[in-house]
Amino acid sequence: MSTTRVIEPTLVTDKAGTLKLGDEFMFQEYGEGGQYGTFTFHGHVLTDDGYEHVDCFGGASDPKGCREWRAFAVERVVARAKPTSRVRRAANARRLADKSAATG
């Protein structure tokens, strides 16, 4: 059984506003007093069976942490991590576009 995936380059949320490729955002773990994490937005994925999630890369940047690819439910995106400059966001978006063009 195959599921069709559509990857959108932007996501509009009530809490974080509009996220574009390369924007950094925060998410919250489930549970009471859940921890926050910082990730870079890589796409809003929609499937034909109605499921949606956010593809991202990041995690803890300290030596004990592990930066990795993750997928989160859209409702777990809670805020932008910090303002990003247009230059930095554009550079991240170009890098992501080049990487996706080379892989697929």
Condensed to tens digits (0 to 9), the pLDDT of residues 6-35 reads 888 899 988 888 998 888 888 876 655 666
Give the CA distances from residue 92 to residues 32, 81, 95, 98, in Å, rounded to whole numbers and listed in that order. Answer: 34, 15, 5, 10
For residue 44, the model assigns a pLDDT of 93
Question: What dotted CATH number matches 5-103?
Answer: 2.30.30
Asked if residue 56 lies in contact with residue 40, where contact means CB atoms within 8 angstroms, the answer is yes
Domain map of the chain by residue range? 5-103
pLDDT per position as a tens digit, 29-81:
665 566 677 888 899 999 888 889 999 888 765 556 677 888 888 888 888 87
d(CA 1, CA 102): 27
The answer on pLDDT for 2 being more than 60 is no
Q: Which long-range contacts (CB under 8 A, 24 or more apart) does 52-61 make?
A: 54/11, 54/19, 54/27, 55/7, 56/25, 58/24
pTM: 0.67
